[in-house]
Structure 1
Amino acid sequence: MPGFRNTVLGAAALLALAAVPAAAQRTLTVGASSAPTGMDPHYHSSNMNNAQLRQVFDLLIDLDSSGGFVPRLAESWRAIDDRTWEFRLREGVRFHDGTPFRAEDVAFSYARVPTVPNSPGPFTPAVRLISRVEVVDPRTIRFHTREPHPFLEHDIAAVFILSRSIHANATLGDFNGGRAMVGTGPYRFVSYAIGDRLEITRNPDYWGPAQPWDRVITRVIPNAGARSAALLSGDVDVIDSVPSQDVPRLEREARVAVFGVAANTTSYIMPDAVRETTPFVTDKQGRPLDRNPLRDVRVRQALSMGINRQGVVERLLNGQGVPADQFAAPALQGRAPGLPPLPYDPARARALLAEAGYPDGFRITIHGPNGWFPGDADVMQAIAQGWTRIGIETRVEVLPPANLFSRATAREFTMFMTTFTANYGANMLRQVVMTRNQATGTGPFNRQHWSSPRMDELVARAMVTMDTAQRDAITADALRIATEELGVIPIHFLRLVWATQRARVRYEPDPRWYTNAMLSHPVN
């Protein structure tokens, strides 16, 4: 494909690295819990994908670990009015193959996002309110929005910038195969073995501060025990998703440093509360039910009351997390204040099932990931035990994350567990709970096609309300409705833990659940 010169680029990067004296080279080896689901920067908005790809590709602006906006390819920006934002681009930036970065590349990137096929989690919400990207001059871009957009900076910080000349016809296969892995970021692509490892090298021509690592190898180690063992043996320098049971042990290790942060991440269950019949529900003799019990809010309330969230966090996760009281994590702007903890009440749950016409319960299967977040499979087993106690015999099936997400998007499940990370409460609802609508970009992660018109109306208002206090109040009301209706059933707010070789690496924990070289700092 024209413009794909990264095979030569990869060889050049290796030759440049070989020219560095061995003693002066700094190699970072990361043990990651899961692999990217695809290397196209516009394919799947997931924590692992975004964390890895931001090493090779750039954004116009970004959020730092404390939640503040920082310049990247845009050196400055301003709101001209409620519907127009202007961004001033950096001068002299080049893609890794030498192609100049131009204003037209920004317009191309935002136009490309909705065209990426078969995405299990598209970036479309970040671009749907943008009516036009205007190239004012070679260094100035203006975004025109259809309505007032108080969260435009957040949306701009979500989309990686590609090159019109390099990536005009690039497919997911081109990115996965490395041919299209040409960005403007601090590291250059060398190689990628799908589901196994990614290798990158420092970009000597990066527009920003020079990165301290000459070479970075990210190894995918899904087994939590194997990740901890790799760190203790010195095979890797940093690991993510430290299992909760290993945290105390690693904290006692003199050669290991442990870094944790409360994440902007909620684990949740999404029931199929829409279809008249659903595939993984039967009576206790294994016969399909003639109607879907999850359509009844009383059944969803019973399921929620059958989850001992406090017990999950305290006993199963050793305190690494917080039981959920709503969908939005504690740090998120606009979350509903004063909500009581979601109750654990097995007796009331059984009564609700009887009221809904299921006094004897039924059978159900819950699907979920293995190795997506610390203790995920164990959490599902604990939930299944709780539901069995209230009369719903529950089976657990765990899948590799990529397989889970693609099948969930195809609506193959009755019930599945996953997580979502966001920087503000309205975005949690816009992405996961709002009615799925390709034209407006809402609900791309609403994989069960749940719909709540009264909540939709509030979220839509919040997304265009410029006054912060009014917007937060509207968002809080929407979150209360989501908590009442339980189109998603929140479980807990994650606490994330990384561990490093103390003598080599200090890690900067990021509440967005990012693991990469840019957050790994040499000790000396």
Structure 2
Amino acid sequence: MKRFLTLLIAVVIALSAMSTFAENAKTLKIGTDAEPIGFDPHTTPAHASIRIMHQMYETLVELDDDLNVIPELAVSWEQPDDLTYIFKLREGVKFHSGRELKAADVKYSFERILNPDLGALGSTPSYAGNIDKVEVIDDYTVKITLSKITAPFLASMSSIYCSIVDSEAVEANGDLLRADGGTGPYTLGEWVPDNRVTVNRFEDYWLDGYNFENIEFYVISDSSARMSALRTGEVDIIIGDSAMLSIAEAAPNVDVHKIRTRDYITICLNLNMPEFSDVRVRQAISLALDRQEIIDLACDGQAEVSGFAPASMGHWAVDVNEHPLYKQDIEKAKELMKEAGFENGFSVTCTVGLNDHIRNSGTVIQQQLAQIGIDVTVQNKENAQYVDDWKNHDFEMMICQNGAGSDPNRAVAFFFGTGANANIAEYSNARVDELCELGAGTTDVDKRREYYTEAINIILDECPNVTFASPYNYYYASSSLEGYSPTLNRPLDVRNVTKE
């Protein structure tokens, strides 16, 4: 009898372990570096939110790894003239509410984006800003007419800022910051602030291959703690950084994924301040920087010296390595400060936040600018406050990590066009605006390259932002994952991924 009970207990324990393993295989756990600030794809710029929204929302089209436009919610499109796009929608796609997506929802989404009261990120000409009207032809056909020729329009429709949303969800909640109005493979579940966000598999999703019933995003702001959680099996993937690389390479159960990005780290200057309204001061700041030292100390060497059109943009990129303002020259910087009337320097507060690259850069830049008399106080903000300051242009100097995008119109017009939403420096140059108009108004690639290269060089000379690096992204994954292969455009694409 005693032997029988022992065997029975052993069987129960084994079955319990098998059940736990099976449950664990159904949930993907991701360790992230920052707390999300909300989930409205039209108004939320934070990377911590975007990586979750990509599981929840979809766009008319998407980009493949070679930046070709491919179908998503639209199965096909035609362009009868330079101003008109007719999209044929995928039939049977459902919102997470269970209601089928129709052309009227596409119309609603773009009208919401273009509503000036919303302040949507996609309302600029770099995205949907040149839309003149959206017409419903039938339930599955929508016609978009532009006010002017906009060469990057189709590619820009792949941005999360141009997501198609459920009008009923918006109307019921007022916004989507804490609600879900998407069609993506996962729906918003529980959000425990400063702990985790759970998204649940949408069983009526139009595409198969999403094997995990749940994805849990855990906020683990300390990078060492994130790596420890991965190595011990508490999470399956972590948003990493270069500082983790040596530990990850030595761990037998960790796979390293290094991705070149179209992101860049830059010092945004408030041009309304008397000090920064003088281009000589801005140029002095650029000359004072040892960009490679910032990369070595703040990014552990895992980045490349870059302007705001990084090398990963291919033929749109502008090489800054030979630009005169990208070579450190302290004496020349001091001369410019003296000419501008700031021989004795001045004090300024530099806002940092969001990620370690930004925070670490602040300390190095503080030391470097001290060489030309600029006394920098580094102020580290919580993510929500940092984003609010960014949106409200409430800063003196702010270190930002921006995304140049796949088209130069975003890299230039979105961040430097007069009045553009992301132009937080409030920079304005009539020639830059003209060149952006010309570049967006032609499909001739050589002419576009000529226009945008001139605009980029003007901005590099005038330094409204002082850019220094394009970081690599690191994603570290458990070797128990099968099929995980992150890309620049979809680093957390879990389709056809399984866990042993």
**Corresponding residue SS for 1:75:** strand
Alignment-derived partner of residue 92 in structure 1: 92
Q: 1:455 aligns with which of 398, 408, 432?
A: 432
Alignment-derived partner of residue 518 in structure 1: 494
Partner Cα distance (1:338, 1:71) in 2? 35
Report if aligned partners of 1:32, 1:515 keep a CA contact under 8 Å in 2.
no
Alignment-derived partner of residue 198 in structure 2: 199
The equivalences for 1:341-352 within 5 A come to: 341=323, 342-352=326-336
Q: How many residues align?
A: 473
Q: CA RMSD in A?
A: 2.2
Return the letter of the residue paired with 2:157: I
Any idea what the Cα deviations from partners look like across 1:394-420, whole Å, max 9, x if unmatched? Answer: 111111232112123323211111111
Partner Cα distance (1:248, 1:492) in 2? 21
Deviation at residue 161 of structure 1 after TM alignment = 0.9
The equivalences for 1:254-333 within 5 A come to: 254-273=252-271, 275=272, 278=273, 292-324=274-306, 326-332=307-313, 333=315
Alignment-derived partner of residue 3 in structure 2: none
Alignment-derived partner of residue 14 in structure 1: none
Partner Cα distance (2:155, 2:383) in 1? 26
Return the letter of the residue paired with 2:252: A
Any idea what the Cα deviations from partners look like across 1:31-86, whole Å, max 9, x if unmatched? Answer: 01123222122122343333211212221111234433221111111222111111
Partner Cα distance (2:276, 2:209) in 1? 54
Alignment-derived partner of residue 368 in structure 1: 352
Any idea what the Cα deviations from partners look like across 1:312-370, whole Å, max 9, x if unmatched? Answer: 2234423211112x21111225233576151111121112111212222122221111x
Return the letter of the residue paired with 1:433: F
Cα–Cα, structure 1 residues 378 and 228, in superposed 2: closer, same or farther, change >3 Å? same
Report if aligned partners of 2:311, 2:319 keep a CA contact under 8 Å in 1.
no
Which stretch shows the higher mean deviation, 332-341 or 182-191?
332-341
Query: Going by fraction, where is helix more abundant, 1 or 2?
Result: 2
In the alignment, does 2:468 pair up with 1:467?
no
Cα–Cα, structure 1 residues 482 and 507, in superposed 2: closer, same or farther, change >3 Å? farther
Alignment-derived partner of residue 245 in structure 2: 247
Cα–Cα, structure 1 residues 316 and 182, in superposed 2: closer, same or farther, change >3 Å? closer
Cα–Cα, structure 1 residues 387 and 447, in superposed 2: closer, same or farther, change >3 Å? same
**Corresponding residue SS for 1:510:** coil
Which stretch shows the higher mean deviation, 425-434 or 185-194?
185-194
Q: TM-score, normalised by structure 1?
A: 0.85
Deviation at residue 508 of structure 1 after TM alignment = 3.0
In the alignment, does 2:339 pair up with 1:355?
yes
Partner Cα distance (2:466, 2:482) in 1? 38
Return the letter of the residue paired with 1:318: D
Alignment-derived partner of residue 390 in structure 1: 372
Cα–Cα, structure 1 residues 199 and 116, in superposed 2: closer, same or farther, change >3 Å? farther
Partner Cα distance (2:222, 2:293) in 1? 24
Which stretch shows the higher mean deviation, 347-356 or 310-319?
310-319
Any idea what the Cα deviations from partners look like across 1:210-258, whole Å, max 9, x if unmatched? Answer: 3021111011112222211211221111101x23222122112111111
Structure 2 residue runs of 5 or longer lacking an equivalent are 1-18
Q: TM-score, normalised by structure 2?
A: 0.89
Alignment-derived partner of residue 68 in structure 1: 68
User: Any runs of at least 4 consecutive aligned residues in structure 1 with deviations exceeding 6 A, and if so which?
Assistant: none
Return the letter of the residue paired with 1:262: R
Alignment-derived partner of residue 16 in structure 2: none
Q: 1:431 aligns with which of 407, 410, 414?
A: 414
**Corresponding residue SS for 1:331:** helix
